[in-house]
Structure formats: structure tokens, C-alpha cells
A and B are shown apart, each in its own frame.
Chain A
Amino acid sequence: DADVTQTPRNRITKTGKRIMLECSQTKGHDRMYWYRQDPGLGLQLIYYSFDVKDINKGEISDGYSVSRQAQAKFSLSLESAIPNQTALYFCATSVAGGSNTQYFGPGTRLTVL
């Protein structure tokens, strides 16, 4: 089984709809992250959480919110989806300290019409 899972893997929605993307991990890592990837670009950090009670905004948090329900679960919400939020979304995890090597989930491809 994959260590970091994301659901759904693909989603098509309409402008104005509320969308939730979910991430679960079995790696036992404290830190979790949400990124988005646009075609031809690298990854941009949306939100990150170093533990259940610690949530921080990344570079592009506007239009997004997150919830860290447990150490193993970190969900991303788009309150009112808009077309320019069409992207590939990745969840990642890392262990505290050291190199902070991040391990990524398989991604969720979101299309907002």
C-alpha cells in the first residue's frame, strides 16, 4: 500500500463549488504539506502543518483552507472553486528535523470549469 494517499485522484467541478481534497499517510510523519503544480511550472506551497495544532500559510494560500484532523490526515478545501485553480495538487509529508526530505502522494488532478 502507498505511504501517502490522496483522494480523489481526479475531479472535475464547476465554478463556485466547494471542493475538498484529502490526504492520508501511514509514514508516521509529523509534517504535512499541500502544493499545486501548474503546467510547465514547479510546485508552489499552499499550506503546511508541522503538527496537528500548527498550520501555516504557504506562498499561494488565497482561496484555499486546510484542516489537520489527525497526525495522519490533512485536507485541502477550495471554498468556491474558480477556473484558475485548475491544477495538479500534491500532498507531501516529512519527519521533523534533519533534512526534512518530503515524500509525495500520487497527486489529484483538479479541473474547474
Chain B
Amino acid sequence: AQKVTQAQTEISVVEKEDVTLDCVYETRDTTYYLFWYKQPPSGELVFLIRRNSFDEQNEISGRYSWNFQKSTSSFNFTITASQVVDSAVYFCALTARDYKLSFGAGTTVTVRA
């Protein structure tokens, strides 16, 4: 069984602050993929980033960066210099051998001007 936990329900920041979203996962598979999705107020789900279990290198893509640590089963996501347009619900998700995508409950980010 797979499980994804996002302990933070809501985060509120002022524009230009950094925001870090926590994600902890559980899986018995050794090969798996982790994702972050964004759901803006308009409701659609947008794929942001993906990381496989064999690559713990942390990366930066524009204002997004992620920290993947297998030792603590964590896949944290950071938005640098937040903007009002970053206000959304962010979902962490996991897929493994069965190809089913398991979602966390989501973290609502509010960026105030």
C-alpha cells in the first residue's frame, strides 16, 4: 500500500517570501515516482515536477525547487520569492509498481500582496 502525507493544511505568506511544502510518503516498492501538482482557484490540476526514486539530486527550475530524501521518505517543494499567482492548492503524489497515483490531501497556499 502507498500513502502520501501532507501535514500542512494551509500556509499563508506575504509576497516575495519563500514557501516550503512538506510531503512524506510510504511505499514498499523500490522503484517509484514522486510528483507535485498545482490546483489554482480555477480548479484544473497542473503537473509541476517529477522525481524518480533512483535520483536524489535536488534541482531548481525557475522559482521552484525540490528536496528529495529517501532516508526520511520526504519530497519537499519550495517556491522562492512567492507571487500572488502562486496561490493554489498543492498536491504531492506517488506512483509505484501498480501505476496508480496516490495523492496527499493537499496544502493550500495563500500569497498575500
Interface size on A, residues (CB 8 A): 24
Q: Give bound CA distance, A45 to B94, whole Å.
A: 13
B100 at the interface (CB under 8 A from A): yes
B52, B101, B104, B106: the one within 8 Å of A102 (CB): B101
Contact partners of A42 in chain B: CB under 8 A? 4, 91, 103-106
Number of residue pairs across A and B with beta carbons under 8 Å? 54
Give chain A interface residues in 60-97, CB to chain B under 8 Å. 88, 90, 92, 94
B33 touching A41, Cβ below 8 Å: no
B50 at the interface (CB under 8 A from A): yes
B43, B99, B101: the one within 8 Å of A109 (CB): B43
Query: Secondary structure of the B side of the interface?
Result: strand
Listed in ascending order, the chain A residues whose CB lies under 8 Å from chain B are 31, 33, 40-43, 45, 48, 50, 58, 88, 90, 92, 94, 99-107, 109
Listed in ascending order, the chain B residues whose CB lies under 8 Å from chain A are 4, 33, 35, 37, 43-47, 50, 52, 91, 95, 99-101, 103-106
A45-B100, A92-B45, A101-B47 given; name 4 further pairs at CB < 8 Å.
A41-B106, A42-B104, A94-B99, A101-B35
